Structure 1
Amino acid sequence: MAQHWQEILPIDRYVVASEGLLHEYDRKVLTFLYQPLIGSTCLSLYMTLWAELEENRLWSESSTHHLLMNLMGMNLRDIYEARLKLEGIGLVKTYVKTGDDERSFIYELHPPLNPEQFFSDGMLNIYLFRKIGKNHFARLKRFFTDQQKPKENEFQDVTKAFQDVYTSATLGSMQYLQDVAGELKAEDEEQFIGRHEQKGIQIDVDTFDFGLLMAGLNESLVPKKALTKKVKEVISNLSFLYNINPIEMKNLILDAIDPNNDIDVEDLRKAARNWYQFENNEQYPSLVERTQPPRYRVQAEEPKTQEELLVRSLETTSPIRVFKDASHGIEPSETELKIIEDMMSKKKLLPGVVNVLIQYVLLKADSKFTKNYVEQIASHWARKEVKTVKEAMELARSEHSKYLSWNEEKKTRKSSNKKPIRTELLPDWFDKETNKATEEQPKEKSPDIEARKREIEEMLKAIDD
């Protein structure tokens, strides 16, 4: 991922556009439903851009990002990071045009979901529930609902129909309408001011392996026609939300088949939610970022050394990819995925910090990624409020002896009184060893170990490939 200064500069100009009229009620939806998920900085950016639109207009005047920085009292990196979050959640679309000497942007604001759409979205409502808890969620639901109109059998509908109030135009008047028909349309390159309702978050269906899913489903139980476009969209979202693979999804689909051999999407959502809660001690998933947030990246310049190259990679790569690379291409198991998710959602560690922990543990513990040991280190880093990749590296170096003793204690409990023979593999960034006691530890070398070290060195050299 490119750095913010490669994507945007203070002198770059932008205009704000609206996909449709934004209403005052949207402010309440953004404040109470979206803000807990995206944060106050993102909300402030959206509101500032919105304020640049004159009332009942769809386009703003041109401005520079330098002015936006002054208005918000924020640096460009934070503004860029907030913009990406708004894009991801569907509130902003960004368009760029690059000329010879300048670059200009269009920030198109999209309205939020209406309350009914949000609370029945299937993704955002789940993330909000996890974020604010059951009681506050119920309070917000009450805030955005009201009593239904009285039942029809209690009142009589006396509304007049169109034909009861109006009559058709005369022939002469109709001829007039035909003559001015061209005047009734919007001019070229113009549009009527209006609004289209926002659509919910949709994960690309290509991210889910429907081929593997169908291979595991019996045609007599679930016909192919049951996997409609709507059903596939729901399956893709549920797979992303709850981290469900095609094999597990197959069982959930079988539970959601109705008597007509159709897939009931509401039953499927319920089955997926129940499955996730069963697997995760009645918890719901939380919304976390895939890579290190730009504001916590320290490798701003182009890397020149091997360590700077590694820092850049750990800051811009997802934890799943780092785990796979450190495991020689082997995908993490479901248990290991759950450990990684817990580090980010429960321990609140940032992705770049999690990457350092993954690499440290896998290379130090002979490719073993045990829950108790990982959680012990993660808890320590969380208490230390580690935020950046370099902070995590330095803490791993300085506390290496402690972490080593934690691992040895677990081995000792499992192997009676036998003295464990320790063979260590450490990431290249660990070479700045500060603990003399650790340096004095005897290390057993073998051709296999040397070969694996060479593999790791080659992997680090090919990080940017």
Structure 2
Amino acid sequence: MQLLNELHPVDRFTIHIPFPLSSYERKLITLLYQPLIGPEPISLYFLLWAEGEDFEGQDYAHYHLMKGLDMSISAVFNARISLEAIGLIRTYKKDQDNMRHFAYEVMPPLEARRFFDDPLLSMFLFSKIGEKTYRNLLQRFSPKSDPKAGMQEVSRQFTDVYQPIKQQMPNTQDDSITAEKPKDLPFFYRDFNFPLLMSGLSEALIPHKLITSELKITIAKVAFMYGLSAIEMKNVLIMAMENPDELTQSTIKKAASEYYKLTVSKQPPTISSMLQPEQAQEEAQEWDSKQLELIEYFEKAKPIEVLTAVNEGKQPFQKDVELFESLVTLYDISIPVVNVLIHYVSLKNKGRINQNYVEAIAADWRAKGITTAKQAMSEAREFMDHKTAPVQPKVAKAENMREEFELLRAAAYKLYAFEAGKNAQTAIVDIEKTFKELMQKTEPLKLLQMLADGKEPFSKDVKTVTQFAASYDIEKSLLNVLIHYAHYSSEGNLNLAFLEAIAGGWRKQDIQTMDAAIAYGQNYQKVKTQKYSKTSYSNQAKTQHVPDWIKTSKKPLDKQSLEEMERNYKKSQGK
């Protein structure tokens, strides 16, 4: 948007408050809406509310808002359209006498129940404040127990108390439309292809009559929030059919969340504002329209879509998909940055994807705090301009990890009695406690390096751990305990099937803590040792089964003696 064409400080405005606002609305605005759009839009809302209550209809210049909020005109404009988008302000404009006039209608927030029922607003809030705070707010605004439960209403009706009087009444009908409070978020998602969705749904699977106009709004909002296409939403609706002939908003939201976790990411989606900061005009001069369009594409696309695009529409290889997925899930690199990395490496290496090269650039960008597509593209452009190689990730020297290496060996012997750690040399007194602390703070790939005494771990071990971490949602300390146990149990031969087998045992026992995982391994090793000791043959057992003639035999074992021993043995067996 061109700000100069939208708003000037001299433009006039009036404020209208169509519905009375109370302290309850103030609470909803502060606790539910402010986390979504930030403090500046909320400050504008409260200022318009305060001015509108006492001076409704009074004419102001936008200088008034700039001074009252200590904000620039662009910041006021961004705050205003944020309020418009969330449904807290309605804006009207007319041009008169070479001057623009605006009318700002300050709208009340949605009721708490409607807010949490809305799939877009509820997921937006969840992604901003996290699960714990979200559940606390949900409980806070949920209706409390009904004090009327078990009681019968005895209230009198109007006709029980009053009687009519036959009298000519004046005509009070008014042609004006009575304003109603908003019941939903103003949302128009024109990009969703409902005809394609309906054509792909079989009447046998989901009767079309179940998809009402209300459910269509929910479907469009869910698709927007999770970035799902009409084809993907077809799968979501099939998953949402928990009961025959029944499709509800709650089942659609639940199914969309599960589908997103299975196909895209275990982390909930986020909504980011498309508003540009005040330096947007300067940046517009630095980036041309095509580059800005490309940046916008990288911010919204999924890595597999970019991989398919750089491969000219062909299906990408699974190893390439897993590589870039691991950058997101394991190394916490944002999806837009990964998209730029895919595009850059593909152009630089003529379509070839080299894992070491990709990880080197990713490590460099993460160290520099690059989190957006624009930052990543700037870094890539600067590299191309100066022809400087990306910083390679450095591997710590062996002596720097000697203490951790010996601790891991000592823990393997102390916890599980693995012989490989019997002669570990460490001065640490409380080995188990120190080991657990190390498991909590160490990254899994760094642990592999510690197990290798500071040397660079084998690429197959890195791939195994990366693939396991990307496929299964497991807490870091638990994953480290799993790697440590599997490493010494397999004598350093890590493989994916072995990790999955151990984790499968944990899942059956509902193991979710580090202490429980260690105890499980200790118990397994104890049972294993007892099993082998019962099936082995001691010297005493051997002696009991040896014939007496062998015990008393003192002859040298020459050929004749051996033949005589064989005859005696056969004789003792009754042959």
- Normalised to the residue count of structure 2, the TM-score between the two structures is 0.56
Q: Secondary structure in 2 aligned to 1:272? A: helix
* Corresponding position: 1:22 with 2:5: no
Q: Secondary structure in 2 aligned to 1:299? A: helix
Q: Secondary structure in 2 aligned to 1:123? A: helix
Residue of structure 1 in register with 2:141 after alignment = 144
Classify 1:359/1:105 alpha carbon distance in 2 versus 1 (closer, same or farther; 3 Å): farther
2:160 to 161, 164, 170: 164
Contact 1:299–1:311 (CA under 8 A) maintained in structure 2: no
- CA shift, 1:72, in A, is 0.6
Residue of structure 1 in register with 2:66 after alignment = 69
Residue of structure 2 in register with 1:293 after alignment = 276
Code of the aligned partner of 2:106: L
- CA shift, 1:224, in A, is 2.6
- CA shift, 1:263, in A, is 2.5
Residue deviations 1:271-314, cap 9 Å, x none? 1122223335542211113x46243524377x5x9x55556656
Contact 1:347–1:382 (CA under 8 A) maintained in structure 2: yes
Q: Secondary structure in 2 aligned to 1:113? A: coil
Classify 1:249/1:375 alpha carbon distance in 2 versus 1 (closer, same or farther; 3 Å): farther
Structure number having the greater helix percentage: 2
Give the unaligned 5+ runs of structure 2: 394-458, 461-575
- CA shift, 1:96, in A, is 2.1
In 2: Cα distance, 1:17 partner to 1:66 partner: 18
Aligned-residue RMSD, C-alpha: 4.2
Residue of structure 1 in register with 2:4 after alignment = 5
Residue deviations 1:389-447, cap 9 Å, x none? 886555334445344868xxxxxx89xxxxxxxxxxxxxxxxxxxxxxxxxxxxxxxxx
Classify 1:44/1:147 alpha carbon distance in 2 versus 1 (closer, same or farther; 3 Å): same
In 1: Cα distance, 2:98 partner to 2:370 partner: 41
1:108 to 105, 108, 115: 105
Residue deviations 1:178-209, cap 9 Å, x none? xx22xx355x8x777x65143135343x4222
* Corresponding position: 1:126 with 2:111: no
Residue deviations 1:17-65, cap 9 Å, x none? 234332321111011111111001111111112222025x8x4311111
Contact 1:314–1:355 (CA under 8 A) maintained in structure 2: no
In 1: Cα distance, 2:314 partner to 2:186 partner: 27
Matches within 5 A, 1:245-256: 245-256=229-240
Q: Secondary structure in 2 aligned to 1:104? A: strand
Contact 1:111–1:198 (CA under 8 A) maintained in structure 2: no
Code of the aligned partner of 1:159: S
Q: Secondary structure in 1 aligned to 2:52? A: coil
In 1: Cα distance, 2:353 partner to 2:299 partner: 13
Larger radius of gyration: 2
Code of the aligned partner of 1:49: L
- CA shift, 1:386, in A, is 5.7
| Count of aligned residue pairs for this structure pair | 384
In 1: Cα distance, 2:293 partner to 2:238 partner: 41
More displaced 10-residue stretch of structure 1: 60-69 or 313-322:
313-322
Classify 1:159/1:377 alpha carbon distance in 2 versus 1 (closer, same or farther; 3 Å): farther
- Normalised to the residue count of structure 1, the TM-score between the two structures is 0.68
Residue of structure 2 in register with 1:450 after alignment = none
Q: Secondary structure in 2 aligned to 1:105? A: strand
* Corresponding position: 1:273 with 2:269: no
More contact order relative to length (CA 8 Å, sep ≥ 6)? 1
Q: Secondary structure in 1 aligned to 2:92? A: strand
More displaced 10-residue stretch of structure 1: 45-54 or 366-375:
366-375
Contact 2:124–2:271 (CA under 8 A) maintained in structure 1: yes
Classify 1:149/1:83 alpha carbon distance in 2 versus 1 (closer, same or farther; 3 Å): same
Matches within 5 A, 1:351-362: 360-361=344-345
Q: Secondary structure in 1 aligned to 2:142? A: coil
In 2: Cα distance, 1:320 partner to 1:371 partner: 24
Code of the aligned partner of 1:9: H
Q: Secondary structure in 1 aligned to 2:119? A: coil
- CA shift, 1:266, in A, is 2.2
Percent of residue pairs identical: 33
In 2: Cα distance, 1:299 partner to 1:331 partner: 38
In 1: Cα distance, 2:363 partner to 2:18 partner: 44
Matches within 5 A, 1:31-70: 31-55=30-54, 59-70=56-67
* Corresponding position: 1:396 with 2:380: yes
Classify 1:227/1:5 alpha carbon distance in 2 versus 1 (closer, same or farther; 3 Å): same
Residue of structure 1 in register with 2:546 after alignment = none
Matches within 5 A, 1:251-266: 251-257=235-241, 261-266=245-250
Classify 1:51/1:391 alpha carbon distance in 2 versus 1 (closer, same or farther; 3 Å): same
Contact 2:360–2:392 (CA under 8 A) maintained in structure 1: no
Code of the aligned partner of 2:195: G
In 1: Cα distance, 2:264 partner to 2:390 partner: 27
Code of the aligned partner of 1:104: H
Contact 2:328–2:338 (CA under 8 A) maintained in structure 1: no
Classify 1:215/1:150 alpha carbon distance in 2 versus 1 (closer, same or farther; 3 Å): same
Q: Secondary structure in 2 aligned to 1:93? A: strand
